[in-house]
A = this chain, B = another copy of it.
Amino acid sequence: MNRSPEAARELRRAYLFADMADEHMNTLIQGAHDIHLNPGDALFRQGQPAERFFFLRDGLIKLFRLSPEGDEKVIELMRPGETFAEAVMFMGTQGRYPVNAEAVSEARLYAFEQKTFLGLLRESSDACFGLLGSMSRRLHMLVNQIESLTLQNATYRLVAYLLEQIPRDVKTSPEVQLTTPKGVIASRLAIQPETLSRILAKLRQGGLIDVHGNHITVRDVQALRNLVHLPPQD
């Protein structure tokens, strides 16, 4: 299929591909598969042999672990423009996916063969560096997550999450549209849905935010930032 030009432009959004040579991009794109998922569809399961990795074009994917009792912990929420499962290729002994991946909303993805990509990495140190960059970003993110799970309480984590959702350059009372069901956000933050509800109610009563369904108006950004001891804007 000859979709290279637009597909390439689309893929460049991902750190992994940002600096990759056009020639290599084309090789990858030729071998890519289109995937379409409906809400609730599984993309892969923990423990399956990892033969492909993914670029999310549209929709929302959750990466999660299950406890033996069936409790779910969302490790990461993937949004359009991001790649995932690239790191698994290097886990010796024929890598297996370390988490489950499932569509939260309708989603479109590209899937790439690990083998193709590995071959490409062998020849291109730029491609290697792209991958190293995206892996070290992910490492950093996980360390931050561990810190906030252990050193911070539920309110802190939720407030930090809300603040992350606010676009950079907004000065006025910002509107946050939760693109993710509250239950999934709760799991990502390692709290129960009930607790999430209660914390939102508390913030609402404190006059810090307004809540209408999954639309949140932040009435006092500064107060929120203070709650997580962040310096005044920046």
Contacts and interface: CB of A to CB of B under 8 A. Distances in A.
Contacts of A125: 121-123, 125, 128
A139 to B, nearest CB: 5
A131 B90 CA distance: 9
Interface stretch (A2-10, A145-153, A199-207): A145-153
A39 interface: no
A99 B139 CA distance: 12
Nearest to A189: B150
Contacts of A90: 129, 132-133, 135-136
Interface stretch (A25-33, A65-73, A107-115, A158-166): A65-73
Interface residues of A, number: 42
Task: Summarize A's interface: helix, strand, loop or mixed.
Answer: helix
A98 interface: yes
B128 A73 contact: no
Nearest to A68: B229
B229 A136 contact: no
Contacts of A152: 67
Interface of A: 65, 67-68, 71, 73, 75, 87-92, 95, 98-99, 121-123, 125, 128-129, 131-133, 135-140, 142-147, 149-152, 190, 229
